[in-house]
Structures are given as structure tokens and as C-alpha cells.
Amino acid sequence: MKKITLKLCLLSSFLFLWACNLPEQDEAGTEAANTERTATDSSNESSAPVMEEMDSTIQEVAELTLHATGNTLEDIAYHEDTLEVEAGAHVQLKLINEGVDMPMVHNVVFTAPDSYRQVAVAGSKIGPSGNYVPDNAAVIAASSMALPGQTVELEFTAPKESGTYNYVCTYPDHWQRMHGVLLVK
Ligand SMILES: [Cu+2]
């Protein structure tokens, strides 16, 4: 019963609106009304492509994945030896530790050019409570430690100046095999 009443209400409202619109259309002319509708429709349709257009005021997002592999000091490595981002991009990085043995914990620390070794050596002295990350001006961003099988995420803003930066694992004695290049374009 309620449904029928609702339908009747809708129908009468529709008829009312239609009747109200009639004189307006006669005055403005059907052509003008159609043009208006077409303009509205086309603006709706074009809203999606506009979203895809580059807006230089919006910070670019760079989604990166870094895999840490190996289970001994002799075979640990970052699978990716180079990562590329646009200058000033918002970086969303996933560090996936594919190791299975417990001592193989890794982080990733992004550093200024030619400073990854110095940062790693300083970091190894910081110890586990500080995540082996030194309080150092050469550190751009640092993840937390990923245990074997774990994935950790890190977000940071890429350097505004293009250049060749580095990343390194600062867990003691990992830096020799675990470092790479961050190309900022
Ligand atoms: Cu490591």
C-alpha cells in the first residue's frame, strides 16, 4: 500500500514539474533548452578525463617496491639496485624482506649522495633501540626494521634537487652488500 502511494506521489510530482516546465520551454524555445542540456551533459562526461590530466600543483606519487633477499651475510642483497623518482615526489615505498632466517632483519635508509657508507657505519653503532639509524644530516628517510617475511612501509618526499642519491641497510655489516642508487630526475 505504501509503495503504491509513493509511486502515485512521484508520478504526480513528475506531472507537476513537467507541466511547470512547459511554458518555460515555449518561451525559451526547445532548441535553447536542448543546448543547455547538452552543455551540462558534456561537462559531466568530460569530468573524468580532466581528472587524468596532469596538474602541476599536485605532488606526484611514486610507488616503489624494494625486495631484500638472502639468508646469509654472503648472499643478502636488495633485489633492485636502482630506484627512480621525480624530484619532490611523494614516495610510497614497500620494503619486503624475503629472507626466512631470523637474524636477517633489514631496513632501508635513503641518504645524500656518496654518504651511504658513513650513514651505515654510524647507524650500526646506534643499536636496535634506535633502529640502527643515526641522527645524521645525510639521512633523507629511514624505514623501520623488517623481520624475515615482513613488509614495512615508508613514505617520504623525494629530494627537490635531481641527482644520484643512495639507499642502504644500516643493520650491522649489511651495508657492504645492501645498497643501491636512488635516481632523482
Ligand atoms: Cu639488512
Residue (of 177, 150, 180) closest to 75 by Cα position? 177
How many Å apart are CA 145 and CA 132, to the nearest integer? 9
Lowest-confidence pick of 53-67, 152-166, 169-183: 53-67
Please tell me the distance between residue 124's alpha carbon and the centre of ligand 1 in angstroms. 11
DSSP state for residue 170 in the 8-state scheme? -
Please tell me the distance between residue 175's alpha carbon and the centre of ligand 1 in angstroms. 7
Please tell me the distance between residue 166's alpha carbon and the centre of ligand 1 in angstroms. 15
How many Å apart are CA 142 and CA 43, to the nearest integer? 45
Could you tell me the pTM of the whole model?
0.70
Q: What integer pLDDT is reported at residue 106 of this predicted model?
A: 97
What does the buried/exposed string (b/e) look like for 102-123 if buried means 16 or more CB atoms within 10 Å of the residue's CB? Answer: eebbbbbbbbbeebbebbbebb
Please tell me the distance between residue 87's alpha carbon and the centre of ligand 1 in angstroms. 26
Over range 33-37, report the average pLDDT: 45
> What band does 102 get if pLDDT is binned at 50, 70 and 90?
confident
- Enumerate the domain spans of the chain: 2-52, 61-184
Q: Tell me which architecture the domain covering 61-184 has in CATH.
A: Sandwich (2.60)
Please tell me the distance between residue 163's alpha carbon and the centre of ligand 1 in angstroms. 24
